Each structure stands twice: as structure tokens, then as C-alpha cells.
């Protein structure tokens, strides 16, 4: 094998839009130059190795994002050469089966989400990549004579016919071309197998992603509908309670009205000036006593209200001061954390260290330097945010994931404890249903 040239090819809408040597791409990663054409965009790219006959021998399909100035965003760090060295076999683009690393065939699991799958059809990504290498817009020094000679020798082999040759020379022809044909056939067979495996892997990844997206969308819709149902039930319960309270007040008012009517009728029947005078005096005494009592209660309530207002004012002042102190302490804590650890983290990142954490629900989690303080402050909240669920839902799912049993409780607050199927993703977990056995799930629905 001759000299290999490393290049990076950029795609847009499935077509090649830009090519550059890998050394130029490293300058882009080092923030020496930018690519203004890709500003505020996420681009699909391919790290390729091309031999001196302009044939592609290896490719890594990766994605990369650019900011408004055309600079690489975040701490992009994918070991392209390492992935290519450990990649699996793919189709034959003219120089034997190539090595391919993509989303569905990634040798290192935690870089899988930063890769993409190529179009494996006849005129798909590999065909366009091979055509771009043959156009040689990068000006790679190639040996076209060896390539033509190689193609000619293979063509001559298939044109030769042992039946037309003399009998004595037939074994010599078989001995000369047999191993070459076997090697070519094995290489072609390996290339076909690699291409077929890559096609099946990309199709599997596509359908699994589509199925996961549909499951997530269905879960979101179901959660929204359940929330709406709960809200409508709460509103209905409130209306029913309000109606019951209104009916109770109405009945009390009716009974009171009937009682007062009966008393008035009794008074009218008894009559008498003495009785009326006595009633007037009693009413006056009752009114005076009521007025005095109301004044005393008003004074007491006013004093209590003033005391409560002073207490609330003092408490509000204390809360404002405490919030200010907390904010100051948080800023100081973040400053100390960044000042003490930022140099070490930056040095580790520059040395190629990747911070990977494992949490149930997200498998291997790659953490950037800027996100390390947030992760260290509350790892579960950070993982719940990356899983697109609330902190409470993630903790409930984590308890179910670690011990998948039915958590329905009886009258003594004891768990059912029946083993159930484990929900592997927090997004698909629904408390009260995913952590119930068939019996309690059916009774809950009933």
C-alpha cells in the first residue's frame, strides 16, 4: 500500500460541499481559522484516508457544530484515527474493503451519538465520496499509471479463456492466475459482506431511532392527556363541592327563615305592650353588648394585625438579606471552584482526557469542561435534565430500575413486591403504572 492522504469532506443535503486536508481541519479545531460558510449550523462530515490511486480506504462519519463566527462550538474531541483503526469492514470502493466507523458501527460506544449513518444505496454517500476522491480537488499526487495497469490486469484475466489455450499450457495458466483470482474473489466477498452488514446496521439504527421517537412522542401525548384529565377532574370536584356547599347553605337559610317566621307569628299571636317593651329592651341590651363586643374584638384584631404585619416585615427583610448572602456565597463558591479546578480541567482536556460518567438511563455520559461544576453540584438533577425528565420522575424511575417490583401498597402500607418487567428508559416510565404488576395495574385501570 502506498502513501495515505488524510482529508475531511463536508456534506450538506447528502452532497459534498467542501473538502480540506486533515491538517487544515486541525487548524479549525485549534481555533486558528473558522469556516464562515457553516456559521450557526451542524454539519455532517467524513474523515477519509485516500491512497495514491485516489481510492478511499477508510472513512469515519461524524458531526460537528459551528457558532455564529464559523468556529467549532464546545469542546469537540473525537479520536478519528483511533475510531478508524478499530473500525469494521465496509464496501469495496476500488482498493478492497474499506474500514467504516459510523453511528450504527461505532467501535467506542460513548462516541456513537456524535456520528451519523451514511446512505448505503447505489448512488448514496459512498458513491459521492468515491467520486469526490477521483475529482481530486485537493490536488493529491496520485499514481494513475499503476491504477490503470491494475484494472487492465484484472480485465485481461477475465478475458482469458482456458478452453482456447493449448492443453499443455492450461495448468500453467491456472497456476499463474488462480491465487490472484481467489484473492480478488475473497476481497470482493469481504466487501459485499461488509457493505451488507453496514446496510443492515444503518437500517436497524434508523428504525430503532424512529421507534424511540414515536414512543417518546406517544408518552408525551399520554402524559399531556393525563394531566388534562387530572386538571378537569380537579375542576369537576371543585364544582361539585361548591354546589354541595351552596345547597347546604341554602337549606340552613331556609330552616332559619322558617324558624324566624314561626317566632314572629308566635309573637304576633301573644301581642301585648309589656311584651313588646321587654323585647325592645332586650334588643337594646343585645345591641349594646354586641357593639361593645365588636369594638373589643376589633381592637384585639387590629393589634394582632399590626403585630403580624411587623413580624412579616421583619421576616421579609431577613429573607431578602439571607437571599443576598446566599447569592454572594454561591458566586464566591462558583468563583473558587472555577479558579481552583478550571486550570486542572483545562489541562486535562488539552491532554485529550474525556470525562465520562455512567448513570442508569443514559449509559456513558460525556461531560464537557463547562458542565463539570453543574454535574458535581447535583449529578442526579444533571442526568435527569439530559434524559429530558423531571428530577422526581428520574428518582422514581431509578428506584424502579434498581429494584423492579410492584410498589402497590395495601392497608398496612406494605409493598406488593411482585417482580415486574424493568423499564430501561426514564422517558418511558410512568409512576403508578410502570411500577405495578398486572393485577394492580388492571385494578387501577378499573
Q: What is the dihedral of CA 117, 121, 126, 127, to 10 degrees?
A: -150
Residue 20 pLDDT > 90 = yes
Where is average pLDDT lowest: 161-165, 179-183, 240-244, 408-412?
161-165
Assigned C-alpha cell, 217? 412522542
Residue 233 pLDDT > 70 = yes
In sequence order, what are the residues at sequence separation of 6 or more whose Cβ sits closer than 8 angstroms to the Cβ of residue 63?
42, 43, 44, 45, 114, 115, 116
* DSSP three-state, residue 159: helix
307-315 mean pLDDT: 89
322-334 mean pLDDT: 81
Helix pair 170-270, 273-350: axis angle to 10 deg: 160
pLDDT at position 163: 36
33-44 mean pLDDT: 92
Contact 248, 241 (CB under 8 A): no
Where is average pLDDT lowest: 5-14, 40-49, 217-226?
217-226
* DSSP three-state, residue 114: helix
**Alpha carbon distance 148, 53 (integer Å):** 9
Contact 373, 402 (CB under 8 A): no
Where is average pLDDT lowest: 127-131, 139-143, 169-173, 326-330?
169-173
Residue 158 pLDDT > 60 = no
Radius of gyration of the chain (CA): 40
pLDDT band at 76 (very low <50, low <70, confident <90, very high): confident
pTM beyond 0.75: no
Position with higher pLDDT, 91 vs 133: 133
Contact 194, 402 (CB under 8 A): no
Where is average pLDDT lowest: 42-46, 100-104, 142-146, 250-254?
142-146
431-445 mean pLDDT: 76
pLDDT band at 323 (very low <50, low <70, confident <90, very high): confident
Q: Return mean pLDDT, the chain.
A: 80
pLDDT digits over 396-425, tens only? 998 988 899 998 888 888 888 889 998 888
CA dist 18 to 9, 37, 38, 95, 396, Å?
6, 10, 10, 24, 48
Cα torsion angle, 8, 13, 15, 19, sign? negative
Assigned C-alpha cell, 269? 299571636
Residue 147 pLDDT > 70 = no
Residue 100 pLDDT > 70 = yes
pLDDT at position 21: 94
265-284 mean pLDDT: 74
Contact 349, 77 (CB under 8 A): yes
Chain-centroid distance, C-alpha 33 = 31
Residue 70 pLDDT > 70 = yes
Residue 208 pLDDT > 60 = yes
Residues of the chain with pLDDT > 90, as a percent, come to 20
pLDDT digits over 331-358, tens only? 777 666 656 566 777 777 777 777 888 8
**Alpha carbon distance 395, 374 (integer Å):** 18
Assigned C-alpha cell, 133? 476522491
Backbone φ and ψ of 119, nearest 5°: -85, 115
Assigned C-alpha cell, 162? 482456458
Residues of the chain with pLDDT > 70, as a percent, come to 79
Amino acid at each position: 500500500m502506498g502513501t495515505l492522504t488524510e482529508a475531511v469532506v463536508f456534506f450538506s443535503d447528502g452532497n459534498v460541499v467542501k473538502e480540506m486536508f486533515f491538517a487544515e481541519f486541525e487548524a479549525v479545531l485549534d481555533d486558528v481559522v473558522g469556516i464562515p460558510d457553516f456559521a450557526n449550523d451542524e454539519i455532517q462530515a467524513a474523515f477519509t484516508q485516500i491512497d495514491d490511486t485516489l481510492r478511499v480506504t477508510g472513512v469515519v462519519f461524524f458531526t460537528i457544530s459551528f457558532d455564529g463566527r464559523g468556529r467549532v462550538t464546545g469542546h469537540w474531541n473525537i479520536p478519528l484515527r483511533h475510531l478508524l483503526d478499530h473500525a469494521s469492514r465496509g464496501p469495496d470502493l476500488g482498493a478492497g474493503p474499506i474500514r467504516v466507523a459510523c453511528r450504527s458501527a461505532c467501535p467506542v460506544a460513548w462516541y456513537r451519538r456524535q456520528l451519523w449513518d451514511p446512505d448505503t444505496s447505489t448512488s448514496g454517500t459512498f458513491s459521492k465520496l468515491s467520486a469526490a476522491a477521483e475529482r481530486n480537488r485537493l490536488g493529491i499526487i496520485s499514481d494513475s499509471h499503476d491504477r490503470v495497469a491494475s484494472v487492465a490486469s484484472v480485465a485481461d484475466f477475465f478475458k482469458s479463456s482456458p478452453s482456447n489455450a493449448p492443453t499443455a499450457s492450461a495448468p500453467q495458466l491456472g497456476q499463474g492466475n488462480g491465487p490472484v483470482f481467489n484473492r480478488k474473489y475473497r476481497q470482493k466477498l469481504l466487501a459485499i459482506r461488509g457493505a451488507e452488514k453496514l446496510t443492515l446496521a444503518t437500517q436497524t439504527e434508523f428504525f430503532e431511532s424512529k421507534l424511540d421517537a414515536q414512543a417518546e412522542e406517544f408518552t408525551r401525548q399520554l402524559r399531556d392527556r393525563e394531566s388534562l384529565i387530572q386538571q378537569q377532574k380537579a375542576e369537576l370536584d371543585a364544582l361539585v363541592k361548591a354546589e354541595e356547599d351552596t345547597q347546604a347553605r341554602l337549606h340552613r337559610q331556609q330552616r332559619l327563615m322558617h324558624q324566624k317566621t314561626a317566632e314572629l307569628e308566635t309573637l304576633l299571636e301573644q301581642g301585648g305592650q309589656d311584651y313588646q317593651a321587654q323585647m325592645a329592651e332586650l334588643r337594646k341590651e343585645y345591641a349594646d353588648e354586641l357593639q361593645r363586643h365588636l369594638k373589643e374584638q376589633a381592637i384585639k384584631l387590629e393589634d394582632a394585625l399590626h403585630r403580624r404585619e411587623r413580624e412579616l416585615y421583619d421576616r421579609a427583610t431577613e429573607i431578602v438579606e439571607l437571599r443576598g448572602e446566599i447569592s454572594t456565597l454561591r458566586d464566591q463558591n462558583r468563583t473558587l471552584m472555577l479558579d481552583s479546578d478550571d486550570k486542572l480541567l483545562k489541562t486535562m482536556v488539552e491532554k485529550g482526557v474525556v470525562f465520562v460518567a455512567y448513570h442508569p438511563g443514559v449509559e456513558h455520559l460525556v461531560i464537557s469542561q463547562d458542565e463539570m461544576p453543574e454535574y458535581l453540584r447535583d449529578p442526579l438533577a444533571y442526568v435527569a435534565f439530559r434524559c429530558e425528565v423531571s428530577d422526581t420522575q428520574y428518582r422514581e424511575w431509578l428506584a424502579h430500575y434498581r429494584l423492579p417490583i410492584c410498589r402497590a401498597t395495601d392497608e398496612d402500607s406494605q409493598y406488593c413486591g411482585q417482580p415486574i418487567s424493568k423499564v430501561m428508559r426514564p422517558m418511558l416510565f410512568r409512576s403508578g403504572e410502570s411500577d405495578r404488576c398486572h393485577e394492580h395495574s388492571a385494578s387501577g385501570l378499573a
